[in-house]
A = this chain, B = another copy of it.
């Protein structure tokens, strides 16, 4: 299950990817926080995605996780559009026969999603302003022309 969705994410839906022989499943959910990293109070986030490329990237990340950690099942769902504080922006599930591989694969998948899935977020602040926020790792997997993460690009408001 590799999806970009516009409605609320139900983490339980990702359990359908667990296979009958799996003994452990690890699910990560990323939740919209009430404060930005710099402490500014946030009213919500707006996400957008380059959808076909994002979904393809999810599949590639899952294939890489299987190469690295063995026989794991992976599901990745990311929400786009307007999200309020406390809502789930992303859910990643990894399951395997044993828990070690499931933990490692889940961690790898969310780290890579944040680093290179073509998805962007704009923070909306309580003072009415907004700004696009890149992840510290968010250089899309390496710099073609000198990529740089963590930058702030303040938008009109």
Chain A interface (Cβ < 8 Å from any Cβ of B): 10-12, 15, 18, 20-35, 85-86, 95, 97, 99, 102-103, 106-107, 110
Chain A at the B interface: SS class? mixed
In-complex Cβ contact of A24 among B26, B31, B86 (8 A): B31
27 contacts between A and B (CB under 8 A): A10-B12, A11-B15, A11-B27, A12-B12, A15-B29, A18-B31, A20-B85, A20-B86, A21-B34, A21-B35, A22-B31, A22-B33, A23-B31, A24-B29, A24-B30, A24-B31, A25-B29, A25-B31, A26-B26, A26-B28, A28-B99, A28-B102, A28-B103, A33-B97, A99-B110, A103-B103, A103-B107
